[in-house]
Amino acid sequence: MPWQLRFTESYMRAELRFLRRHPEVRRQYGKAVALLEANPHHPSLRLHALTGKQVGLHSVSINLSYRITLELRIAGQTIIPVNVGDHDDVYT
């Protein structure tokens, strides 16, 4: 069963702000999102669980500077992106 991305309105607003501020990573972002849907466990995404205030969320890398935080519902194979931005933006 393939993974399904489910985008919330708040994520779509965050995505739009992120891509306006960082148009140079648009292609890398698109590649990361496509790979996330095809195989969230692909090594280049560096999927890992978060701790502390964001326990229950996971993170994947767009590149060395930018991340996407997300909910990963393994039972239903649904991925819900929560936030996108640089390290400090998504981990605070």
Domain boundaries, the chain: 4-90
The enclosing H or E element of 73 equals: strand 66-73
Q: Among 9, 81, 7, which Cα is nearest to 40's?
A: 81
**Domain range 4-90, CATH architecture:** 2-Layer Sandwich (3.30)
CA trace torsion 43, 47, 49, 54 (10° rounding):
160
Instruction: Report the predicted TM-score, pTM, of the whole model to 2 decimal places.
Output: 0.88
Q: What is the pLDDT of residue 74?
A: 63
Alpha-carbon distance of 42 to 72, in angstroms, equals: 14
pLDDT tens figures, 43-91: 999 999 999 888 988 999 999 899 999 988 766 788 999 989 887 777 7
